[in-house]
Structure 1
C-alpha cells in the first residue's frame, strides 16, 4: 500500500520526482565515495579494493552522452582528489572512463546485461589505472620498471574486483533511473493530449 501511494505521489508531482531522483543519485554517489577507502573482508585482492567511484561513473555513463559522462568523471574525480591526494589526479582517468563508457553505448554489441556491465567496468578500471601509471611515469618520482610492474598488479586487481561489484551498483540505479524516465514520459504524454 505504501509503494502505491509513493508511486502515485511521484507520478502526480514532477517536482517531487525530481527531488527524489536527485536524492537517490546523490545518495548513491556518497555511498560509493564512502566505500572507496574501506577494505571490508572479502572485498580486497592483494590489498586492492574495487574502484567504487569508477563503478558509479560506468553505471551513470552507460546511458548518457559523452559530455554527461565526462562531467560525472570530472566532478567525482575532483571529489576523490579532495578525499585522497591530488597527485596523481583521479580526474583524468575518470573523465576518460566517462567518455569511453558513453561512447560504448553506440556500439551494437554492448548490451545492458550482467556480463556487458562487468566487462565494461573491467576495461575501464584498466584504463583508469593506466592513466594513473602514466602520471607517475611523467612525474619521475619512481623508476619506470617499478611503476609498470606495480601497475600490472593494481590494474588487474582493481579491474577484477570492480567488474565483480559493478552489477551491484548498476542494476538498482539503472532500475531507478528507468522508473523515473517512465514516469517522465507518462507525464509528457499526459500533457500532449
Structure 2
C-alpha cells in the first residue's frame, strides 16, 4: 500500500473509532459527569467538532449519520436526525462565515447553544406525540436543556482538542 492510502485508512479508522466511542459514552453514566441525572451529549459534541472543520455538506452528512446511530440506540421517535442535521449545518455555516474561531471558548459556546437547540427540537417532538401537554413538556424541557447544555459545553474541549488537532493535520 502506498503511504497516502495507509494514512487515509488510519484517519478514517480514527474518525470512525471516535464516533463509536462517543456513541458508547452516551450509554454510560460516569460519576461526576452528569448534572441532574443528565450526561453530556457526546454525539452533539462530536458533530460540533467535526462541523467546525468540515464543509456544510460534511456537517449535514455527519448529523444525518449520527442521528441515525442515536435513533438506532433509542426509540426512533422522537428522532434525533432533525436536530443533529440542523446542528451540523449551522455549525459548519458559522465556521465558513468565520463567526466562530477554533478555540475552546468558541466551541464550548457553540456546543452550549446547540445543546439547547437540540433539546428544544426534542421537546417539540415530545409535545407533538401527545402523551403529555406542551406545558408539562416545556416544564421538563427547561431542566433538561440547561443541564445538557452546561455539561456538554464543559466536556466539549475534552473531545475537541484531540480531534481538532487530528483533523487540522488531515486537512493540511
Root mean square deviation of aligned Cα? 1.3
Distance 1:77 1:30 in 2: 13
1:109 Cα offset (Å): 4.0
Q: Equivalent of 1:38, from 28, 42, 59?
A: 28
Confirm whether residue 16 of structure 1 aligns to residue 6 of structure 2: yes
TM-score where L is the length of structure 1: 0.86
Instruction: Name the CA distance, whole Å, in 2 between partners of 1:98 and 1:124.
Output: 9
Scaled by the length of structure 2, the TM-score of the pair is: 0.96
Question: Size of the alignment, in residue pairs?
Answer: 172
State the partner residue of 2:65.
Answer: 75
Say whether 1:163 aligns with 2:146.
no
Partner of 1:4: none
**Alignment partner for residue 108 of structure 2, among 92, 101, 118?**
118
Q: Larger Cα Rg: Structure 1 or Structure 2?
A: 1
- Which residue is 2:18 aligned to? 28
For residue 87 of structure 1, what is the aligned residue in structure 2?
77
1:94-135 Cα offsets, whole Å, 9 max, x none, are 011101111111344421111100000001101110000111
> Equivalent residue for 1:186?
none
- Tell me, yes or no, if the aligned pair for 1:69 and 1:102 is still in contact at 8 Å: yes
Q: Which runs of 5+ in 2 are unaligned?
A: none
Q: Is the 8 A contact 2:53 2:167 kept in 1?
A: no
**Native 8 Å contact 1:118 1:164 kept in 2:** yes
